[in-house]
Amino acid sequence: MIFKSTRGQAPEKNLSGAVIQGIASDKGLYVPIEFPQLDKSWAEYAAMDYKTLATEVLRPYLGEFTEEELKACIDGAYTDKFEADDVVPLVHAGGADFLELYHGPTAAFKDMALALMPYLMTTALAKEHEDKTVCILVSTSGDTGMAALKGFEDVPGTCIIVFFPDHAVSPVQEQQMRTATGSNTYVTSIFGNFDDAQTTQKAILNDKPFGEEMGAIGYRFSAANSMNVGRLLPQVAYYVWAYAQMVKKGRVEAGKPINICVPSGNFGNILSAYYAKQMGVPVNKLICGSNKNNVLTDFFKTGVYDARRAFYVTNSPSMDIIISSNLERLLYHLGGCDDAAVRGMMDKLAADKCYEATDAIKAGLSEFAAGFATEEEILEAIGDIYKSDHYLMDTHTAVGYKVWRDYVKETDDDTPAVIASTASPYKFAAAVSGAIGLPAAEDEFAAIDALSKASGVRVPYGLKDLRSRPILHSGAIAREDMKDFVRETIRGRK
């Protein structure tokens, strides 16, 4: 399978090359030139376990891997690090089916891709005879950071540097990252928001002289953000899985459509659902949920992407994003692979913080619906479903639930719905426990204990005794110093 840049001016790659490269040299994002079609019956997919199904979905994208290599990657990724019987349970509550993607080592859906990506990366490195150490740069709104640190911890031939916005991630997320172990892991906060971190990170990745300087001492860069196509493809597998499970449980007749609602930030997760649809999963609407940072809601309603707006820090911090990088891939696909049009829109975004989609793209937007939830509405949704079904969900998942309910109210569309459940409620325990009526706890960590006592739901192992782990990464730097931090970190390694 060949992967091309959305901006059309970078060399084509196979998946191995695209995963190592991270972001294309013309600043575009790698996309597959076609979508392989699912070629088995739903009865067959429904009978598979998660690993077998993921292998089926990924194989056509990875022609350069042998069957043994692919299987070794998937077996290495989805071990009992995932604390659920089938890796990804589908749980019926509140009239919808929640695809619980958060049972991995860091208790958020990012684990699904970041458990697999290091295996894809190291297999690819060996195939391409790369002798440089790959330095993975990550900017995170919270959950990617820890999932990437866990995924790449002590992986030979790699090191990882994570930047997160100071005081803009949850206390649990911050404690996870600052206590991350591994001899190849580096973490600092930056004074700025997520968009600042991501923009500067992209600039470092595109800085040719700096790349050469680090190349001379044996390093090359890559990205573990969802701009890396190696993040997206593992996620496609769980949407195929979701549909197969819906069939298996009798919630949908094989071949009939479902709706999929995804709480979105950088647009990577919902884009994977779009890819699954292109591969043949019957989907009626893809519903994009946002929090108060609702630039995507406006985009889907008007076709205009307008980033000239206030930025809010909310109780669903992993979705506090104004520049949704992966939307670029959707523009490319909906626009009929018109890379010149994508370049035009992205240039406008960089210059004016605003662009209007082309008519071809606008016509495709009807495959999507969109809505948003305020912080109060998020808490209300958590309280409602806990009361009605004793189901505990986190603040991000609650965005999805609320937006889906609004969509049903507006449209009367009774298509069976899958809601992507993106984080454990314990990752945002103070907000969740408040929402179900518990008294305010002393801090986030006490809230975890109180929530577990009240609900009886087990605390994920990745969040247990977090408070007592030693701080290993205490840094906080100016955004302008990110490049120097990278240089000094690499030069300081033995």
Ligand X SMILES: *Cc1c(COP(=O)(O)O)cnc(C)c1O
**Closest separation between CB of residue 143 and ligand X, Å?**
3
- The residue among 110 and 150 lying less far from ligand X, judged by its C-beta, is 110
Query: Which residues here bind ligand X, judged by CB under 6 A?
Result: 108, 110, 143, 226, 263-269, 318-319, 396, 422-423
Q: Distances from the Cα of 158 to the Cαs of 99, 300, 327, 491, in angstroms?
A: 32, 39, 28, 14
Q: Which amino acid is at 494?
A: K
Closest to ligand X by CB, 107 or 155: 107
Q: Which is nearer to ligand X, 200 or 264 (CB)?
A: 264
Which letter, b or e, does each residue of 431-443 get, where b requires 16 or more Cβ atoms within 10 Å of its Cβ?
bbbbbbebeebee
Residue 240 Cβ, how far from ligand X at the closest point, in Å?
17
- Residue 179 or 318: the one with the smaller Cβ distance to ligand X is 318
* Minimum gap (Å) between residue 321 Cβ and ligand X: 7
Residue tagged 């408070």 (tokens): 467
Least gap, CB of 267 to ligand X (angstroms) = 5
| Separation CA 287–CA 370 (nearest Å) | 5
Q: Tell me the C-alpha to C-alpha distance, in Å, between residue 16 and each of 3, 30, 147, 465.
A: 10, 11, 21, 38
User: In sequence order, which ranges of 79-207 are alpha helices (DSSP H)?
Assistant: 110-114, 117-127, 143-152, 171-178, 194-205
Residue 277 falls in the annotated catalytic set: no
Shortest Cβ distance from residue 157 to ligand X (Å)?
26
Yes or no: say if 227 and 168 are a contact pair by the CB < 8 Å rule. Answer: no
Helix (H) or strand (E) holding 5: strand 3-5
What distances in angstroms separate CA 160 from CA 23, 123, 131, 252, one per listed residue? 16, 17, 17, 42
Instruction: Give yes or no for a contact between 389 and 93, defined as CB atoms under 8 angstroms apart.
Output: yes
Closest distance to ligand X from the beta carbon of 265 (Å): 3
Judged by CB, which is closer to ligand X: 1, or 112?
Answer: 112
| CB nearer to ligand X: pick between 263 and 371 | 263
Residues near 77 by beta carbon (within 8 Å), at least 6 away in sequence: 115, 116, 119, 234
Given the residues 13, 27, 110, 150, select the one marked as catalytic: 110
Residues making up the chain, counted from first to last:
494
Question: Active-site residues: which are they?
Answer: 110
